């Protein structure tokens, strides 16, 4: 039987992630980075090319130690616990792949993830969203575009990458609903309100082109050498700059990103009585634990209920 080596198996696993698992190219690149780092840090202890049977609990222990001590820049910064978890998730996925193929190696169940702190969620209240929208000049095509972008993000809870990929033909402004393909190539429905649909319609009516992208870069020099249909499509970084511009104009001191509007969408739903499972579906989270980062919002709401309905002692 031909001997197999870890380096070759990593390449086969990456192909498996892309083809069989249907993950995005960005996900495949991340997995490649994480697994190549594993190979780099662990193969130095070996006098031969790494084999699957070389991956032991002792190698895992040393790997975790080296990850934790790894300098990532000239300032001596280290990987956060969350980033270390991504590295270990990739390794665990690789070991599961080996087990499925019947390749003898470390049991993937032995790869435990580090405890991470729940991220702090920044969101805008409805009046803050309105203050941001009020700063937009609707007498220009650019203003109409920016208003449509922000309302669509807040009304539909879209990821910025999903919004950037939208074409005119994707969105049904009459039904005010459409489908996007999110993380893991999973489709989910998006519902928008009358205002967001109206703003998108106003923007499209102001355009005089036949390009497919729903939102365009209005820069005169945008993609001047490109012949593809997407040469003027807005990028996530462009939308970040648009939101930063109106955030400053509105005097909002919070750090507001496109994802902040997605957080605002979720918290607005919860504050108005939506259940966590429904919000999970609307956000396209595969795991309810991801949606539970918003539970501090419902906790605040419960505090108000307690104050309103619970009798005080005299």
Active-site positions read: 159, 183, 259, 262, 285, 294
How many angstroms separate the CA atoms of 196 and 111, rounded?
45
Is the CB of residue 14 less than 8 Å from the CB of residue 32? yes
Q: What is the DSSP letter of 272?
A: T
172 forms bridges with which residues in the sheet? 177
- For residue 301 the two structure tokens come to 């709401």
CB atoms within 10 A of CB 47: 4
How many angstroms separate the CA atoms of 242 and 150, rounded?
9
- CB proximity list for 156: less than 8 A, separation 6 or greater: 190, 191, 192, 196, 265
**Could you tell me which of 239, 49, 251, 43 has the C-alpha nearest to residue 154?**
239
SS3 189: strand
Only one residue has tokens 């080296």, namely 66
What do you get for the CA distance between the two ends of the chain, in Å?
83
Sequence length of the chain is 314
């Amino acid at each position: 039987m031909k001997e197999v080596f870890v380096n070759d198996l990593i390449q086969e696993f990456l192909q498996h992630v892309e083809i069989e698992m249907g993950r995005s190219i960005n996900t495949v690149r991340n997995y490649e980075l994480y697994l190549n780092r594993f190979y780099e840090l662990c193969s130095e202890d070996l006098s031969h090319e790494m084999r699957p049977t070389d991956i032991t609990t002792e190698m895992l222990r040393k790997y975790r130690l080296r990850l934790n001590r790894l300098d990532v820049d000239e300032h001596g910064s280290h990987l956060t616990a969350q980033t270390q978890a991504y590295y270990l998730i990739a390794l665990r996925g690789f070991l599961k792949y080996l087990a499925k193929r019947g390749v003898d190696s470390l049991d993937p169940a032995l790869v435990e993830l580090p405890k991470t702190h729940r991220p702090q969620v920044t969101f805008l209240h409805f009046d803050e969203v309105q203050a941001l929208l009020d700063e937009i000049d609707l007498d220009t095509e650019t203003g109409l575009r920016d208003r449509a972008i922000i309302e669509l993000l807040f009304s539909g809870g879209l990821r910025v990458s999903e919004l950037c990929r939208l074409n005119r033909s994707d969105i049904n402004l009459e039904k005010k609903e459409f489908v996007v393909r999110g993380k893991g190539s999973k489709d989910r429905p998006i519902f928008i309100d009358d205002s967001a649909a109206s703003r998108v319609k106003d923007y499209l009516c102001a355009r005089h082109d036949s390009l497919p992208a729903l939102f365009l870069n209005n820069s005169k020099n945008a993609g001047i050498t490109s012949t593809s249909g997407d040469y003027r499509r807005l990028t996530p970084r462009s939308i970040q700059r648009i939101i930063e511009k109106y955030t400053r104009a509105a005097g909002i001191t919070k750090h507001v990103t496109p994802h902040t509007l997605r957080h605002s969408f979720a918290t607005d739903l919860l504050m108005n009585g939506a259940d966590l499972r429904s919000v999970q579906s609307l956000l396209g989270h595969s795991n309810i634990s991801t949606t539970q980062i918003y539970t501090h919002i419902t906790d605040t709401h419960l505090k108000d209920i307690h104050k309103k309905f619970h009798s005080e002692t005299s």
